[in-house]
Amino acid sequence: MKYILIIMISLLFSKLNAQPNCYAFKYYGDTLQYKACKMVEKIDDKYYQFSREFQEAYDRAIEVCPYFAYGYKEKSVAYLKSGDFINWKILMDKAVHYNKEDNLGYRGWCRYQFFKDYKGAIVDFEELEKLVKDIGYSANGDYHLQIAKAICYSALGKKEKAIEIIKRQLSQKDYPPGWFDYYQLGVTYFEIKDYSNAMKAFQKQSEIHPLAENLYYISKVYMMLNNSQESEKNRKQAIELYKQGNYMKDGYTHHFNKVYFSEIDNN
C-alpha cells in the first residue's frame, strides 16, 4: 500500500506540474517565453490537442518566442498520437534543442515506447544524466527512466548491464520500486538462467504489485527446477489473475516482456 500511495502522489505531482510556471520565465527576465507561456496558459483546458484552435494557439506563441520549447513539445503530442512520427520528431527535436533538461527524458521515453529505438533512447537518457541528478519518470509513470534505460539494454542483448542498472536504481535511498521493476529484473535474470535470483525478484514483485505475467514466470522457474506441481499451480493462478484484470496494460503500446493470455493458457 505504501508503494501505491507514493507512486500515485508522484504521478499527481507530475500531472499538476506539466504546464510550466509562466512567472518563472518572468522572474529570470525571459519576457518572450513569459509572454508565449501566458498565451497558452489555459489552452489545454479549452481545446483538444488535435483541434485547429489548439495548434494555432501554440503556433502564435512560437511566433512570439521561437525558442519556446514547451510549445514545440505540446504541438508534437498530436502528431505522435496520430502516427505522424516524422512531424513529431521534427517538433520534439526543436523542443530538445531549446531545453534539453525538460525534454530529453520525454523524447527518450517515446523513442523506446513507440519506436523501439533502443539505442536512440539510451543516448537521450545518458545525455540527460550529464545534466541532472535524477532523470525522472516515463511520461505514463510506469517506470523510472533508469529502469527504462535498463530495458533498452536488455532489448539489445546486454542483460548483465540491464541487471546492474535495475539493481542500482532499486538500491537508491528513498526510491519506491515501480509497478514493474522487480518483474523486469526477474525476467532478465531468467533469461541468463539465474533462476535463484529470478525467483527472488518475482517474489518481491508479488509483494508490491501482483501480476499474471509474474506468476507465469514463477511457473517457468519451477519448471526449470523440475518441480512440475508448483509450476502448474502458479500457472493456474496466473490464469485467474489474468481473468481478474491483473496483468500488464498500456493504452498505446505493449509492455516489454508482456505475456499474453494465450501463452499462459496453452502451456
pLDDT digits (tens, 9 = 90+) for 38-56: 999 888 778 878 889 999 9
Give pLDDT tens digits for 98-157.
Answer: 999 999 999 999 999 999 999 999 999 999 999 999 999 999 999 999 999 999 999 999
pLDDT of 7 > 50? The answer is no
Average pLDDT of the chain to the nearest whole number: 92
Placement of cell 531545453 in the chain: 99
Confidence band, pLDDT 50/70/90 cuts, at residue 18? low
Please, what is the end-to-end C-alpha distance for the chain in angstroms? 32
pLDDT of 6 > 80? The answer is no
How many residues appear in the chain? Answer: 267
Half-sphere exposure of 171 (CA within 13 A, CB side): 6
Placement of cell 485467474 in the chain: 240
Q: Region 190-201: what's the mean pLDDT?
A: 98
User: DSSP 3-state assignment of 137?
Assistant: strand
Give residues with Cβ within 8 angstroms of 126, minimum separation 6. 149
Cα(137)–Cα(113) distance, rounded to whole angstroms? Answer: 13
Q: Region 253-261: what's the mean pLDDT?
A: 95
Q: How many CB atoms lie within 10 A of CB 95?
A: 23
Q: Long-range CB contacts (< 8 A, 24+ apart) of 264-267?
A: 264/212, 264/216, 264/235, 264/238, 264/239, 265/239, 267/219, 267/235
What integer pLDDT is reported at residue 264 of this predicted model? 95
Grid cell, residue 167, equals 539493481
pTM of the model: 0.89
